[in-house]
Homo-oligomer: A and B are copies of this chain.
Amino acid sequence: MFIEKINSPEDVKQLSIKELNQLSIETREVLLKKLSEHGGHIGPNLGLVELTIALHYVFNSPKDKIVYDVSHQSYVHKILTGRKDAFLLPEKYDEVTGYSNPQESEHDFFNIGHTSTSVSLACGLAKARDLKGDKENIIALIGDGSLSGGEAYEGLNNVSEAGTNMIIIVNDNDQSISENHGGLYKNLYELRKSEGASENNFFKTLGFDYLYVKDGHDMEELIQAFQSVKDIEHPIVVHVHTIKGKGYKLAEEKKEIYHAGPPFDLETGEYKFSRSNPESYENRTAEYLLEAMKEEPTITMITSATAPGFGFTKDRRELAGKQYIDVGIAEEHAVALASGIAKNGGKPVYCVFSTFLQRAYDQLSQDLCINNNPALLLVFAASVYGMNDVTHLGLFDIAMMGNIPNMVYLAPTCKEEYFAMLEWGIHQKDHPVAIRVPAMGMITKGIEDTTDYSLLNKYQVTHKGEDVAIIALGDFYQLGEQVVDQLVKEIDIHATLINPKFITGLDEELLNRLKENHKLVITLEDGVLEGGFGEKIASYYGPTEMKVKNYGIKKSFPDRYVPEELLKENGISTEMIVNDIISILS
């Protein structure tokens, strides 16, 4: 096999076209074997095999610098740049991350996981090159889906202004995770249909030179195109038509389902772990929203290109009809849109992953919260139990959103609370409301939640005790229960347990009352400690005799961590907390 002999791009350059094509076949086989056994991004990588090989055949990485957008399509690049063993050998599968990573290889320039960033980052590499008087090629590879994000547009608009070498490769497979949304995609369709000849050309309107590659799986056409733009002295867009999932029939046919996933059966395509748990917050939320939409025609589910993550499968999207909006990978627009809908009397529900909501901090503050419009946000995977790639951490939401005025951020501890909050959040008209959807599975307390959430910042005392009070937020409520139980067993202390429910405000009355017969308050939160919930409690009690100990994750960027290990490193386990309490009290 050729692939076994590829230790660097130099080895790719030695091959003939025939051999490069053979390398493509082998690469696809290797990818499919690893992906089916290990899981990962399927469609994006299968679609880029020839393109990546051609890139490394023509350009001189790492002198020439390639920046991959999202970088979930950089597997072939990794294979060709000295990391093939992590794809060939099952015992080494986990030696590479799923994204580009400078710690792994000099051929990778950034840790990238969010969308639409490649052009701007590459623009920076190019600017430094120009100032230093260097001459290498700077290449940004970006998918059609990523073009819907504002940062990509800002980058494109600025690249063409710079006027020096920059090669933007648009990998156009006419698909995001789901189908594309946005006016731009009509233009991309026009360009594909006219084989690049259409007069009306998005890239040209931004000042780019432009080249169309009809068949992104034709090695010769690709090599010729890349050779023609190598060392070009101005910015150019090379628009390449590829097929997502190329070479694996099921992935070509069901692009959304085989965008990414866990291990699967290569023959049947069946995923080895079910991806849709009926008893999940995602699924039950989708069911709830679809029912609610029937009764209220202004309820609108908004997603920024990640509908499948929230149980909004294709059939459900069709059921929702006009009450469903996919804005593309455009979180800023999503938040402003929600604010506008709420302002005009509609009921927007924006479902979003914590990590991606980061892209809309200013819109949360300005477009939504200053205007105090009653939009509802459902924030998923905001937890140590969420995604664990360094670029996909969901741990920063409380520090980010929890300090924005007017925002009411709620943390349910069970199914009943979650749906009571959801019901209130959709129908109230007074505040921007967000709910931190639990990530540790659906826990039921079996008791209906009749809380009136319009009375803001009322914490619930679920177990009355003395000496020690545990304020256990959202996902960590169950941990709080365990600590309370253990305290009885170990030192016969009957602690108070509190479910605060509200992340964004203090129940000062309750906090004052605790002073009467408590010496120590413990806070537990499932996220980064700095800027979070617990620090506010510590600050409140600062001038008093009350002692406070905050538990959460110390700010850091952990990568591919094991949740239990990360928690222990941060002193979070029933045993460690109980020991701390004993030590503080003594």
Contact residues of A with B, CB < 8 Å?
65, 102, 109-114, 117, 120-132, 148-161, 181-184, 186-187, 199-202, 204-208, 297-298, 300, 322-323, 325, 327-328, 330, 332-333, 336-346, 348, 358-359, 361-363, 365-367, 369-371, 390-391, 396, 399-400, 402-406, 520, 528-532, 534-536, 538-539, 541-544, 547-550, 555-557, 580, 584
The listed residue (B183, B344, B534, B543) touching A156 by CB distance below 8 A is: B183
Complex Cα spacing A285 to B65, Å: 33
- A127 surroundings in chain B (CB, below 8 A): 300, 325, 337, 340-341, 344, 346
- A327–B158 contact, CB under 8 A? yes
Chain B nearest CB from A125 CB (Å) reads 5
Chain B nearest CB from A101 CB (Å) reads 10
Residue of A123, A126, A346, A539 with most partner-chain B CB within 10 A: A539
The listed residue (B120, B403, B528, B557) touching A332 by CB distance below 8 A is: B120
Q: Known contacts being A130-B322, A207-B186, is A548 close to B555, with CB within 8 Å?
A: no
- A340 surroundings in chain B (CB, below 8 A): 110, 120-128
Complex Cα spacing A159 to B452, Å: 37
Q: Which 7 A-B pairs have the closest CB atoms?
A: A124-B340, A150-B150, A183-B207, A160-B183, A128-B346, A120-B336, A128-B344
A-B pairs with beta carbons under 8 Å apart, 17 shown:
A65-B344, A110-B367, A120-B332, A124-B339, A124-B343, A126-B340, A127-B344, A151-B363, A154-B330, A154-B332, A155-B337, A157-B333, A158-B328, A160-B182, A160-B183, A405-B555, A405-B556
Q: Known contacts being A148-B154, A157-B184, A348-B124, is A396 close to B391, with CB within 8 Å?
A: no
Complex Cα spacing A202 to B153, Å: 12
- A555 surroundings in chain B (CB, below 8 A): 403-405
Q: Is the interface of A mostly helix, strand, loop or mixed?
A: helix
- A541 surroundings in chain B (CB, below 8 A): 538, 542
Complex Cα spacing A552 to B122, Å: 40
Complex Cα spacing A149 to B363, Å: 13
Residue of A182, A204, A342, A344 with most partner-chain B CB within 10 A: A344
- A151–B332 contact, CB under 8 A? yes
- A543 surroundings in chain B (CB, below 8 A): 520, 547-549, 580, 584
- A391 surroundings in chain B (CB, below 8 A): 366, 370
Chain B nearest CB from A7 CB (Å) reads 25
- A122 surroundings in chain B (CB, below 8 A): 340
- A530 surroundings in chain B (CB, below 8 A): 402-403, 536
Residue of A120, A300, A365 with most partner-chain B CB within 10 A: A120
Complex Cα spacing A393 to B131, Å: 35
- A358 surroundings in chain B (CB, below 8 A): 361-362, 365-366
The listed residue (B120, B184, B366, B556) touching A117 by CB distance below 8 A is: B366
Closest to A325 in B: B127
- A367 surroundings in chain B (CB, below 8 A): 110, 117, 120-121
